[in-house]
A and B are shown apart, each in its own frame.
Chain A
């Protein structure tokens, strides 16, 4: 019954030796170091150590990867605690204009103020009733403080809130205002991006609302689902692309025929028929003899229906896939996927309709802008971003953002081909209003019909300068009329203002 088998008669001696403990501890410890190693016990220690080291590593990585996304989850109520301690940070425009800030009320609560009212309603967004736009993206930094321990102690003693990180966006207030004013009471969307950097300078969606009064407006905004005021039409709006889609039809034609496109010739009588189906040119215009470039510049529906009929439908499907139709888009905020399905089973009528941008196609202005950016940048899409940096309260940059990735949507040859076509739209086609002496522009207009009466949404997507593209713009004005008359003038205003300053 002894723990050590070789010890006998120990019981009687126990009490005698329990008194002098210091010496015996020493003896015991010295002896213990000499004990033979028990392999299995060491292996057990190793197994559990590895298990725990793995778990601790996982814990730290898990924390670092998820802290900001978990924080913004609507099921996470921890934010409310931070609102009692920290004053939500500021959001700035590209040149330091204050787009959003918070003030501390007497009762310790805080109120969010948007000095520009509805101008950035969708892009900067709002922070109560859920969060949208920049407010949602940067929520973690905006509500966490970088105040030092002493500052926090002082704030706590005086009942002040701590100050938080501030966020600078890429938005250009002047350009944003031009687009906003031009849209006026029309619904629509405007996005303007730098093609080489991916910075988004303009993101306007109409109808808008004043986020200062979001609490009062909330019921009204959510009740009236028809006008969908809360929708950011730039990324979430889905429109028929109209003639802007001819860019994509042209790209597919080029991919299938390469240099042969120069031989293309078509005599336009104002309509095109296959079986009993008929495609009309806009307002029935007869374009006469047109080559490929002129078909594009004049936006000849009959010629493009003819081109569309010549295309291989399963190849076309691949091109649509490569241009991210029905797929995820690289987008920093909430968006809706564009939708268009073409396959070898697609019937002739749908094929003709699709080729001229009518039919079942729906696309967001943002997606159209991505394609335009890639064309302008020789086929390479530099993905857009809207947050420039996050600064601490001392003004030091703690996080600097850039475009997350750049990838090729088409070859440089294909981009060059489309660039030429889009230049001809300005020089001899539907976007003639962009002609000027200061810069050259390129683009494609669209007038997407949305009812049987011939009413149309006005589209324009393009870039400037044509030789060395810097910015790409995409505009849609709902029920605005023709793209050339209604959307192109806004593109001109935006380019004018941009090139005046840069």
Chain B
């Protein structure tokens, strides 16, 4: 029985993830509230079952009882996310919440496959971030000055990025993080959010050409600092956020084309000036001559993706740890190797589902400030997923960013969690106001 389970668990996991992925898209077609509730129940069951099957599989393979602890803490997480949030805020967005829980669960499972210690740290960071976010939802509706902090956002963001540029630790050629006592923080993850707030606060009303130019200059400054810090992935994400938010603010695609042309020009200049940019492109074009050094990562990642097949080798039964940074930049390759390509595609579909839902929320908001924030967050999360997955499979040059909510890394997971819950906060406010409006109308009649 045990052996039958070990042989079949990978198929079960793939099917579960596929069911979840399909449900996360088909929920948009569900007309009735009842249908959506049913889908939500399926999603929660699939989430818990996936965690169970994965942990039992790892326990049987490794004969390490610590995976029981992993199982318990992931279930605690799921319980916290789903039950506590819904009890405290019945108006919360169920699909976003379910997707959040599913992605965080998958992340914890994959990280625990690489290192139980790391997954435990990840668990602590996730719970702390979650607690912060619950507090944030409570106070979010009461803060009134968010729109007025335009220059604060710009200054704080630029300051933080400059600090990294000057004081940052150089790890693997780029300056990404600064040390605060025992912990190392990667500010660009958080500044992303500040950047979105800055854009929304400058572009939300009374738009004129001067404002657009100012926003473009500040955005160029952000991106420029990141390029000089060699954090190319973040630079690209900031650039794309800016382009999309600008279009939603102005409703004019000329800005996007202008931005793309400026971006292309800047890329060519960066390519000419910075050797690290050239190296990235060169390795993307043909990594094989550099298999012993610069191309090693990407080639190991490619081996990893092609070695698991559609259903994967089974957790702990592959060798994804041959990829340097398997748990951060190449976590998608680990998923493909051990859980299979179907699981990998399912994770992508869940990310797209989150994106669509966030944009739906954004489309319902009348206040441009919050509309643009939700929109910016959605673009940021999905584009980051695109960069890391596309980089790991050599679809695009490697940029070295994390897969939101899944990759190991305190700053990344905390920033992504906050992003999800800012959208939740805005959504909850929207729902509450909506109810007020309805009741106002009723009383008028």
Give A residues with C-beta under 8 Å from B.
1-7, 9-11, 13-14, 17-18, 21, 24-29, 31-32, 35, 37-38, 40-41, 44-45, 48-49, 51-52, 54-56, 58-60, 62-63, 66-67, 70-71, 73, 75-78, 80-81, 149-150, 152-154, 156-157
Chain B: which residue is nearest A85 at the CB level?
B317
Given A1-B144, A56-B348, A41 contacting B248 (CB threshold 8 A): yes
Contacts of A25 in B (CB 8 A): 33, 91
Given A10-B432, A13-B436, A63-B305, A5 contacting B366 (CB threshold 8 A): yes
Instruction: Pick the contact of A59: B3, B341, B360, B432 (CB < 8 A).
Output: B341
Provide a sorted-by-A list of 17 A–B residue pairs whose CB atoms are within 8 angstroms.
A11-B141, A14-B432, A24-B438, A40-B251, A41-B362, A48-B386, A55-B393, A55-B395, A62-B302, A63-B306, A67-B307, A71-B307, A153-B3, A153-B4, A153-B8, A156-B3, A156-B7
Contacts of B302 in A (CB 8 A): 62, 66, 70
Contacts of A9 in B (CB 8 A): 436
Instruction: Pick the contact of B431: A13, A28, A63 (CB < 8 A).
Output: A28
Is residue B286 contacting chain A, with contact meaning CB distance below 8 A?
Answer: no
Is residue B163 contacting chain A, with contact meaning CB distance below 8 A?
Answer: no
Contacts of A3 in B (CB 8 A): 365-367, 370, 426, 429-430, 433
Contacts of A55 in B (CB 8 A): 348, 386, 389-390, 393, 395
Q: A18 and B303: CB pair below 8 A?
A: no
Given A17-B432, A24-B431, A4 contacting B317 (CB threshold 8 A): no
Scan residues 1-59 of chain B and give those whose CB is less than 8 A from a CB of chain A.
2-4, 6-8, 11, 33, 36
Is residue B285 contacting chain A, with contact meaning CB distance below 8 A?
Answer: no
Given A5-B366, A13-B439, A48-B382, A70 contacting B393 (CB threshold 8 A): no
Given A3-B370, A4-B367, A75 contacting B432 (CB threshold 8 A): no
Cα separation A75 to B302 with both chains bound (whole Å)? 11
Chain B: which residue is nearest A73 at the CB level?
B303
Q: A56 and B345: CB pair below 8 A?
A: yes
Q: Smallest distance from the beta carbon of A216 to chain B beta carbons, Å?
A: 29
Q: A52 and B318: CB pair below 8 A?
A: no
Given A3-B426, A41-B362, A63-B341, A75 contacting B291 (CB threshold 8 A): yes
Q: A45 and B355: CB pair below 8 A?
A: yes
Instruction: Pick the contact of B352: A4, A5, A35, A52 (CB < 8 A).
Output: A52
A-B contact count (CB 8 A): 175
Instruction: Pick the contact of B436: A7, A31, A63 (CB < 8 A).
Output: A7
Contacts of B322 in A (CB 8 A): 77
Contacts of B433 in A (CB 8 A): 2-4, 7, 10
Q: B356 and A78: CB pair below 8 A?
A: no
Cα separation A27 to B435 with both chains bound (whole Å)? 8
Cα separation A35 to B362 with both chains bound (whole Å)? 12
Is residue B440 contacting chain A, with contact meaning CB distance below 8 A?
Answer: yes
The secondary-structure label for the interface of chain A is helix
Q: B33 and A29: CB pair below 8 A?
A: yes
Instruction: Pick the contact of A75: B299, B365, B383 (CB < 8 A).
Output: B299
Q: B90 and A21: CB pair below 8 A?
A: yes
Chain A: which residue is nearest B367 at the CB level?
A3
Contacts of A29 in B (CB 8 A): 33, 36
Scan residues 285-309 of chain B and give those whose CB is less than 8 A from a CB of chain A.
291, 299-300, 302-303, 305-307, 309
Q: B291, B370, B379, B432: which has the most chain A beta carbons within 10 Å? A: B432
Q: A49 and B393: CB pair below 8 A?
A: no
Give B residues with C-beta under 8 Å from A.
2-4, 6-8, 11, 33, 36, 90-91, 141, 144, 244, 247-248, 251, 291, 299-300, 302-303, 305-307, 309, 313, 317-319, 322, 336, 341, 344-345, 348, 352, 355-356, 359-360, 362-367, 370, 375, 379, 382-383, 386, 389-390, 393-395, 426, 429-440
Q: Smallest distance from the beta carbon of B28 to chain A beta carbons, Å?
A: 10
Q: Smallest distance from the beta carbon of B303 to chain A beta carbons, Å?
A: 4
Instruction: Pick the contact of B364: A35, A45, A156 (CB < 8 A).
Output: A35
Instruction: Pick the contact of A52: B244, B319, B386, B436 (CB < 8 A).
Output: B386
Cα separation A469 to B386 with both chains bound (whole Å)? 58
Contacts of A157 in B (CB 8 A): 2-3
Cα separation A318 to B431 with both chains bound (whole Å)? 79
Q: A17 and B436: CB pair below 8 A?
A: yes
Q: B91 and A152: CB pair below 8 A?
A: no
Cα separation A3 to B427 with both chains bound (whole Å)? 10
Cα separation A51 to B370 with both chains bound (whole Å)? 26
Cα separation A5 to B348 with both chains bound (whole Å)? 35
Cα separation A70 to B305 with both chains bound (whole Å)? 10
Given A24-B91, A55-B395, A45 contacting B438 (CB threshold 8 A): no
Instruction: Pick the contact of A35: B248, B363, B393 (CB < 8 A).
Output: B363
Contacts of A11 in B (CB 8 A): 141
Contacts of B317 in A (CB 8 A): 81
Chain A: which residue is nearest B345 at the CB level?
A56
Given A4-B433, A38-B363, A27 contacting B438 (CB threshold 8 A): yes
Contacts of A45 in B (CB 8 A): 355-356, 359
Cα separation A56 to B332 with both chains bound (whole Å)? 12
Contacts of B367 in A (CB 8 A): 2-5
Chain B: which residue is nearest A68 at the CB level?
B306
Q: B91 and A21: CB pair below 8 A?
A: yes
Q: B33 and A59: CB pair below 8 A?
A: no
Cα separation A323 to B443 with both chains bound (whole Å)? 93
Q: A154 and B3: CB pair below 8 A?
A: yes
Cα separation A63 to B302 with both chains bound (whole Å)? 9
Cα separation A67 to B308 with both chains bound (whole Å)? 9
Chain A: which residue is nearest B370 at the CB level?
A3
- Beyond known contacts A48-B352, A48-B355, A62-B393: 9 more, CB 8 A cutoff: A3-B430, A14-B436, A40-B248, A59-B305, A59-B341, A60-B341, A75-B291, A75-B300, A153-B4
Q: Smallest distance from the beta carbon of A76 to chain B beta carbons, Å?
A: 4
Cα separation A402 to B146 with both chains bound (whole Å)? 70
Chain A: which residue is nearest B6 at the CB level?
A156
Contacts of A1 in B (CB 8 A): 144
Given A2-B433, A52-B352, A67 contacting B306 (CB threshold 8 A): yes
Given A76-B303, A78-B318, A4 contacting B341 (CB threshold 8 A): no
Q: A17 and B393: CB pair below 8 A?
A: no
Cα separation A390 to B6 with both chains bound (whole Å)? 28
Cα separation A58 to B360 with both chains bound (whole Å)? 28
Contacts of A62 in B (CB 8 A): 302, 305-306, 393-395
Cα separation A304 to B309 with both chains bound (whole Å)? 59
Cα separation A5 to B8 with both chains bound (whole Å)? 55
Contacts of B90 in A (CB 8 A): 18, 21
Cα separation A7 to B441 with both chains bound (whole Å)? 11
Chain A: which residue is nearest B379 at the CB level?
A44
Contacts of A13 in B (CB 8 A): 435-436, 439
Q: Smallest distance from the beta carbon of A142 to chain B beta carbons, Å?
A: 16
Cα separation A18 to B433 with both chains bound (whole Å)? 10
Cα separation A25 to B434 with both chains bound (whole Å)? 10
Cα separation A378 to B36 with both chains bound (whole Å)? 71
Q: B436 and A58: CB pair below 8 A?
A: no
Chain A: which residue is nearest B252 at the CB level?
A40
Contacts of B355 in A (CB 8 A): 45, 48
Cα separation A141 to B394 with both chains bound (whole Å)? 25
Q: A59 and B366: CB pair below 8 A?
A: no
Given A4-B367, A13-B439, A55-B386, A81 contacting B319 (CB threshold 8 A): yes
Q: B3, B345, B389: which has the most chain A beta carbons within 10 Å? A: B3
Chain B: which residue is nearest A67 at the CB level?
B306
Contacts of B319 in A (CB 8 A): 77-78, 80-81
Cα separation A5 to B299 with both chains bound (whole Å)? 53
Chain A: which residue is nearest B393 at the CB level?
A59
